[in-house]
Structure 1
Amino acid sequence: MADATAPGGALRRTMGLWQLTLLSVGATLGTGIFVVLGEAVPKAGPAIVVSFVLAGVTALFSALSYAELAGMIPGSGSSYSYTYATLGELVAWVCGWCLILEYGVSVAAVAVGWGQYVNELLDLVFGVTLPASLSAPPGTGGVLNVPAAAIVVLAMVVLLRGARESAVINVIMVAVKIAALVMFCAVAFTAFHAGNFQPLFPLGAAGMSAGAASLFFSYIGFDAASTAGEEAKNPQRDLPRAIILSLVLVTALYVLVAVAALGAMPWQKFAGTEATLGEVLVRAVGGGTLWPVLLSVGAVVATTSVVLTVQYGQIRILFSMSRDGLVPPVFSRVHAQSGVPRANTVIVSSFIAVLAALVPLGSLADATSIGTLFAFGLVNIAVVLLRRRNPDAPRSFRVPLSPLLPLLGVAACGYMLCSLGADTWIAFGAWMAAGLVVYWLYGMKHSTLGRPGTPVKETV
């Protein structure tokens, strides 16, 4: 039988506007609310509601820049492709390396939260939980987080079937998790106490900023549509719309759920669990196990959707980097029958599964935030440079008040970067140093840029 996998290959255009929008919603909605809220509330107190707004506004600046560039450069590499076309190969490599951190580590973080909700669901329904040795990473009382690794492998199986099939499954899961969050708000507001918001800033403005920096993790994913540029039916029209629409929907739900959660349970009780919303219903609302069970089912579906869609984005970014010669060609080989980069999918999923099984949630979330903020900052800079370099280029969407809003996006990203801890910066520095070594040892030697017989890389 002939090998169905040929070097390189083209992805198939199967996604319309709503599929792209729900891809971004699926990658975003749930990460912060279902997983990271318990980590962030102790940093900010009731001001976590303001932290969500600050993180959302910061994301909005970058979303506008993403929307402009997605309409101009509709490739599959997200901000990596944009910086390649505007700032050159070295900066694109730095951006791509940040995206590997952003997407890969965020999938692992959400997978850890997924395991927490599975454990809570087992406890509520059957009165049993998985032993700590098999449901927590080393350093937190466990040996191996098996559920976290298992959901990554399950997402891999779905992704191997193809983009169309993955999009259909994602639409179903997004509908389920929106229903779960609306149900949570309806129930939590029955136990609402306005006094839980006094004082609003018990830990000061610094606490609010620290909470926003951690919660920025929860906005990762609004750019997921930009990784599907080569699988969109009409990328110039639909990508900008999908990016902005998904961010507006997600921010509104985040703020609503945060208000309901803080109103139902004092902020001091949020520490110590990733399954935060379930804890709110159990401790504050009461009324048996029905609502916590339904919420836990929704949370499991929600985090499954995030794992699936963000894992998809990571694979497409490496696909683009591989076609440019910066990572090995195995990452850009497309299976002829499924139209999926199979080897890429298996390699990336295996790495993420190991990460999810061995690393605690808090470390993963902060590492993801710093990589994301760097990548977003570069996208905002790219918009400013393109407006100066090529102001008359066709744009299906234009950032209003440019260069003011893109520069505000750079400043906001910088502000939140300064709110991250020293340990996160040290880890990020080590990651970037390793990335530059990989670029010098492999990327520079194998880059297609300027190689005889290779088409010139398109710039704008």
Structure 2
Amino acid sequence: MSSPPQPGLERKIGLLQATAINMTQMCGIGPFVTIPAMVATLGGPQAVFGWLIGAIIALADGLIWAELGAALPGAGGTYVYLREAFGSRTGRLMPFLFAWSAVLFIPLIMSTGIIGLVQYLGYLIPGVADEGGTTGLGKVIGLGVIVLVVLAAFRRIGEIGKLTTVLFAIMLFAALSVIVAPFTRFDGAQAFAFTPGAFSFGGGAFWAGLGAGLIIAIYDYLGYNTSAYLGGEVRDPGRTLPRSIIFSILGITSLYFLLQLGVLGSIPLEELKSATSVASTVLEQAWGTGAAKVITVFIVIAAIGSLFTLTAVINAAVTVLVLVQSLAQVAAIVVLRRRRPELDRPYRQWLYPIPTIIALLGWVYIYFSATWLSIGLSVGWIALGVAAFLTYAKAERVWPFGPKGIQESFAGAAEGNGK
């Protein structure tokens, strides 16, 4: 059976477009900027294992998104899941806190994309960026890109889906070029020259930097859930959403692993740790300046695609996101399984609850690996959100000062797998 469509929304996004949307959001400029930081954080070529551990956490969390998205395919993603899971007990508090947090972490994540975009523009246009960071010209260009993205976001969802598919193709071309280029002069001994004692449990470089490295990795994997936010506009969401999430994580993991390996085998370690446009450097070494500049243009365009949605900014964004989205959804899947067993679930998490437990442990480890400033910011922002909600609730006379004011929108099979 099918559910009535949400007012004003058309289900025009298929599996290919949903996967393209996720992968474009995931890749964009991220790995092209953060590979040097990952190598420096984990102390050498062993950084490749940081990407793999991050992928395991992302996949475990993706399976939570897959079940929730298939069962509750509404526009809004986490907002819908928290409303349906916790509304009967805490009214509008949890979805309010998610929206409150999004006001902070979405601009933070978007800003990292702008920073990376300007760094690569600096390779093409002198004066856009320098060793101190973004120049005045770079800031003007960054603001212009934000305006462009906002204007594009107001187009019909079918047009955005097609545009994202084109951007996905551009991103894939750029990523594959940067993967192929270093293997024309690949030094295997250099790529696998793990730091002596790096894996020692007595304080090896890998374990010492793993927490901070996973923050970087998870930042680069973020976006595998984008299709779930568009659940009200996805065709056959019970099948499309889980597949788009899983396919995108597996696909991007393969790209990131090969990107990291290729870069390690073509750029000396000390040079790599301080590189600002590592992809352009790799391309220039392999194919010359002309080819490097052409493909860098594609990287910049891919960065714009990733905004359709540095280290200090990533820390702040991830910690806020972990508290009100990641950990809250771990609780949501457990609560909904127990409280609403009748809910139609076209996809049920494989090996439940093992992936949920892995996601929980991973998110807790990542959260407490962040800087104390970022943790303090996240806690303080949530505290302000609670205060704002109580002020709103008192004025509107809703829970805890009145009725909860929330009705469950996905009551059963007829609502659970809308097409």
TM range (shorter): 0.7 to 0.9
Instruction: Give the corresponding residue for 2:110.
Output: 107
Cα distance, 1:229–1:199 mapped onto 2, change above 3 Å:
same
The whole-number CA distance in structure 2 between the counterparts of 1:59 and 1:447 is 39
Cα distance, 1:438–1:266 mapped onto 2, change above 3 Å:
farther
Following TM superposition, by how much is the alpha carbon of 1:369 offset from its aligned partner in structure 2, in angstroms?
A: 1.7
- Output aligned runs, 1:278-427, within 5 Å: 278-282=280-284, 285-308=285-308, 310=309, 361-374=310-323, 375-427=325-377
Instruction: Give the corresponding residue for 1:431.
Output: 381
The whole-number CA distance in structure 1 between the counterparts of 2:248 and 2:56 is 14
Instruction: Give CA deviations for 1:96-136 in whole Å, capped at 9, x if unaligned.
Output: 334443333211110111111122122xxxxx333659x94
Instruction: Give the corresponding residue for 2:36.
Output: 38
The whole-number CA distance in structure 1 between the counterparts of 2:352 and 2:280 is 43
Residue 188 of structure 1 pairs with residue 188 of structure 2: no
Following TM superposition, by how much is the alpha carbon of 1:418 offset from its aligned partner in structure 2, in angstroms?
A: 1.8
Instruction: Give CA deviations for 1:19-61 in whole Å, capped at 9, x if unaligned.
Output: 1111111111234312222333211121221111111110111
State the superposition RMSD in angstroms.
2.7
Cα distance, 1:117–1:131 mapped onto 2, change above 3 Å:
closer
Cα distance, 1:39–1:147 mapped onto 2, change above 3 Å:
farther
Instruction: Give the corresponding residue for 1:15.
Output: 13
Following TM superposition, by how much is the alpha carbon of 1:9 offset from its aligned partner in structure 2, in angstroms?
A: 5.5
Which contiguous aligned blocks of 4+ residues in structure 1 show a shift greater than 4 angstroms? 141-144, 446-455
Cα distance, 1:239–1:447 mapped onto 2, change above 3 Å:
farther
Instruction: Give the corresponding residue for 2:194.
Output: 199
- On the 8 A contact 1:101/1:367 being kept in 2, the answer is no
The whole-number CA distance in structure 1 between the counterparts of 2:404 and 2:188 is 68
- On the 8 A contact 1:114/1:147 being kept in 2, the answer is no
The whole-number CA distance in structure 2 between the counterparts of 1:258 and 1:132 is 24
Partner letter of residue 97 of structure 1? W
SS of 2:345's equivalent in the other structure is coil
Following TM superposition, by how much is the alpha carbon of 1:143 offset from its aligned partner in structure 2, in angstroms?
A: 9.1
Instruction: Give the corresponding residue for 2:49.
Output: 50
The whole-number CA distance in structure 1 between the counterparts of 2:194 and 2:355 is 32
Instruction: Give CA deviations for 1:60-107 in whole Å, capped at 9, x if unaligned.
Output: 111001000001111111122111111233233333334443333211
Q: State which of 255, 258, 276 in structure 1 corresponds to 2:257.
A: 255
Instruction: Give the corresponding residue for 1:328.
Output: none
The whole-number CA distance in structure 1 between the counterparts of 2:40 and 2:343 is 47
Partner letter of residue 313 of structure 2? L
The whole-number CA distance in structure 2 between the counterparts of 1:281 and 1:166 is 31
- On the 8 A contact 2:393/2:399 being kept in 1, the answer is no
- On the 8 A contact 1:120/1:129 being kept in 2, the answer is no
Partner letter of residue 260 of structure 2? A
The whole-number CA distance in structure 2 between the counterparts of 1:273 and 1:370 is 26
The whole-number CA distance in structure 1 between the counterparts of 2:393 and 2:148 is 31
Q: State which of 120, 141, 145 in structure 2 corresponds to 1:151.
A: 145
Identity rate of aligned residues, in percent? Answer: 24
Partner letter of residue 290 of structure 1? G
For structure 1, the residue ranges without an aligned partner over 5 or more in a row are 1-7, 123-127, 311-360
Instruction: Give the corresponding residue for 1:332.
Output: none
Residue 95 of structure 1 pairs with residue 98 of structure 2: yes
Cα distance, 1:168–1:267 mapped onto 2, change above 3 Å:
same
For structure 2, the residue ranges without an aligned partner over 5 or more in a row are 1-5, 199-203, 412-419
Structure-1-length-normalised TM-score: 0.78
Deviates more, 1:438-447 or 1:154-163: 438-447
Deviates more, 1:405-414 or 1:449-458: 449-458
Partner letter of residue 16 of structure 1? G
- Output aligned runs, 1:70-85, within 5 Å: 70-85=69-84
Cα distance, 1:254–1:286 mapped onto 2, change above 3 Å:
closer
Following TM superposition, by how much is the alpha carbon of 1:16 offset from its aligned partner in structure 2, in angstroms?
A: 1.5
The whole-number CA distance in structure 1 between the counterparts of 2:28 and 2:138 is 24
The whole-number CA distance in structure 2 between the counterparts of 1:161 and 1:101 is 24
SS of 2:337's equivalent in the other structure is helix
User: Number of paired residues?
Assistant: 391
Cα distance, 1:443–1:271 mapped onto 2, change above 3 Å:
farther
- On the 8 A contact 2:66/2:241 being kept in 1, the answer is yes
The whole-number CA distance in structure 1 between the counterparts of 2:289 and 2:363 is 41
Partner letter of residue 366 of structure 1? N
Structure-2-length-normalised TM-score: 0.85
The whole-number CA distance in structure 2 between the counterparts of 1:454 and 1:385 is 19
